[in-house]
Structure 1
Amino acid sequence: MCGSDLHYYRAENDGTPAESRCIGGHEPAGVVESLGPGVNGARLSVGQRVMVHHYSGCGTCMNCRSGWTQMCTSAPAKVYGKNAHGAHAQYMAVPAACVLPLPDELSFCAGAAIGCGTGTGWGALERLGEVGGLDLVVFGQGPVGLSTTMLATARGARVIAVDPSASRLEQASKFGAADTVNPDSVDPVEAIRELTAGAGAAAAVETSGATVAATAALDALANWGRLCAVGLGGTIAFDVRTFLSRQVTAMTSWSMSSVQQMACADFVARRNLPVDDLFSHHWSLDEAVPAYEEFDKQSAGKAAFVF
């Protein structure tokens, strides 16, 4: 279960017509049950452990061929769990090109997380470029933010984690954050500058989707600093006069390519990173109603349907 699943869950509760709905879930991992006609049996086999890149495009345009099927230029991409049936069901049918090998060292829950939440953190770091040795601040310590903290630390960054929740900041420290900042207690921009000897952060990732966090992330950047925004819902705006002389860069990142998803899974497996520790709840499919009701509170960690 991913936070963005809640957008569709809440829309359905608002009276969205039944004919426009689909099965939710865009972070699948599991076992190949069967292969359709023409599927390359040399690459995929029944019983194989796999994860899914949850977008499907034409397969032939340059974006699709490079693994960015969500950016297909030939036709609107299918997004499983949004406009095509997703993974909150016993079975899921997807094109073979969407199916990726899951390293044996990883659990199905870890593979599912890498399919979006953890993979989104990886994609943001890829957009920022080399982060080893840099002061990097991560705004928001939900599942995506915690994943970013974990991955950035493993890639050599000194991570400063920002979140108003004390429990999430505690988890961020367990995942390697060098310092934590609670914006309800201190001015986050001033705190970040104090932690960086007045320079500011060389890089920032904004995962919360809150405009106030995005604004603080920009203000906390050092000269030549780079901000990558992945949280949905916020607005980033700035006065050119204020930022012109600081040479900052602001960018977005849309999850990750299928190539990056495999790279992230291999990295997590090789470094033995504790992605499973992101999960606070596990549910069965017949518990879907209470699962979504609990998840809608957004007061816990990541959740998964397991069967």
Structure 2
Amino acid sequence: GGMAPYMIAEEKDLLALPDELSYVDGAQVACGFGTVYEGLEKIGISGNDAVLVTGLGPVGLAAAVLSRALGAKTIIGTDAIDERLQIAKDLGLCDHVLKAGSDNVEQIRALTGGHGVERAVDCSAHHAARKTAVQATRKWGKIVLIGEGGTMDLNPSPDMIHDQKTIYGSWVTSTWRMEELLERLVRWGVKPSDLVT
């Protein structure tokens, strides 16, 4: 097709925007969706995984959308803001949405047969949500931190070492990864603009 529209990713780099995607879709890729895709590629997401997303703002909602596109059958989302939980429910992005709180780890384990999730994505940058993401991840699981700022409070032996978990940090993405994502979005029929309120 005529890939005439372009989106600017970095100062000297232009990426062709496929005909199937709008400028709003492209804007989402250049910020939230690209950042999330980079993080999810680091931890790997498949149909084997239950995924926890802590923080359901624009980046967290993108994490839920892309986790589903990558094959996750169970997606659990947490947030402290009711309106964000409602958006995730209304758009059907999460199988379960939980109000952020001190009982989230137990709730998440209950939703996953007592085991916890295989993959967790923190998009909140909140210390309590990050702790939930780590503690609600099962043995050998992987966690990626995407939310910027904040702190983290862990007890390394029970929270990480004994269950041999891995934490990744992920920051923004590259132009080649965005180009890959644009192609995948068309393949999956995913429109990032659907998240814009």
- TM-score normalised per structure 2: 0.91
Is the CA contact 1:160–1:180 (under 8 Å) kept in the aligned structure 2? yes
Q: Which has the higher contact order (CA 8 A, sep 6+)?
A: 2
Q: CA deviation at 1:147?
A: 0.5
| Alignment correspondent of 1:187 | 103
| Alignment correspondent of 2:43 | 128
Q: CA deviation at 1:156?
A: 1.1
> In structure 2, what is the Cα distance between the partners aligned to 1:160 and 1:240?
24
Q: CA deviation at 1:239?
A: 2.8
Q: 1:152 aligns with which of 67, 82, 100?
A: 67
Q: CA deviation at 1:145?
A: 0.4
Q: How does 1:231-250 map to 2 (within 5 A)?
A: 231-242=147-158, 243-250=160-167
- Structure 1 residue 274 corresponds to structure 2 residue 191: yes
Q: Cα deviation per residue 1:258-305 (whole Å; 9 max; x = unaligned)?
A: 11101111111222213112222xxxxxxxxxxxxxxxxxxxxxxxxx
| Alignment correspondent of 2:170 | 253
Change (3 A) 1:255 1:132: farther
Q: How does 1:5-24 map to 2 (within 5 A)?
A: none
> In structure 2, what is the Cα distance between the partners aligned to 1:275 and 1:106?
9
Q: How does 1:1-307 map to 2 (within 5 A)?
A: 48-54=4-10, 94-95=11-12, 98-157=13-72, 158-173=74-89, 174-184=91-101, 187-242=103-158, 243-280=160-197
> In structure 1, what is the Cα distance between the partners aligned to 2:118 and 2:59?
20
> In structure 1, what is the Cα distance between the partners aligned to 2:57 and 2:66?
14
Letter aligned with residue 25 of structure 2? A
- More helix per residue: 2
Runs of 4+ in 1 over 6 A off after TM superposition: none
Letter aligned with residue 152 of structure 1? S
Q: CA deviation at 1:48?
A: 2.8
* Structure 2: runs of 5+ lacking an equivalent: none
Q: Cα deviation per residue 1:64-106 (whole Å; 9 max; x = unaligned)?
A: xxxxxxxxxxxxxxxxxxxxxxxxxxxxxx32xx111111110
Q: CA deviation at 1:237?
A: 4.3
Letter aligned with residue 172 of structure 1? A
* Structure 1: runs of 5+ lacking an equivalent: 1-46, 55-93, 281-307
| Alignment correspondent of 1:88 | none
Q: CA deviation at 1:154?
A: 1.4
| Alignment correspondent of 1:75 | none
> In structure 1, what is the Cα distance between the partners aligned to 2:100 and 2:137?
16
Letter aligned with residue 273 of structure 1? V
> In structure 2, what is the Cα distance between the partners aligned to 1:132 and 1:125?
13
- Once superposed, what is the RMSD of the aligned Cα atoms? 1.8
Is the CA contact 1:124–1:253 (under 8 Å) kept in the aligned structure 2? yes
- TM-score normalised per structure 1: 0.59
| Alignment correspondent of 1:10 | none
Q: Cα deviation per residue 1:119-157 (whole Å; 9 max; x = unaligned)?
A: 111111101124323110000111100001011011111
> In structure 1, what is the Cα distance between the partners aligned to 2:28 and 2:148?
18
Number of paired residues? 193
Is the CA contact 2:43–2:119 (under 8 Å) kept in the aligned structure 1? yes
Q: CA deviation at 1:169?
A: 1.8
Q: CA deviation at 1:176?
A: 2.8
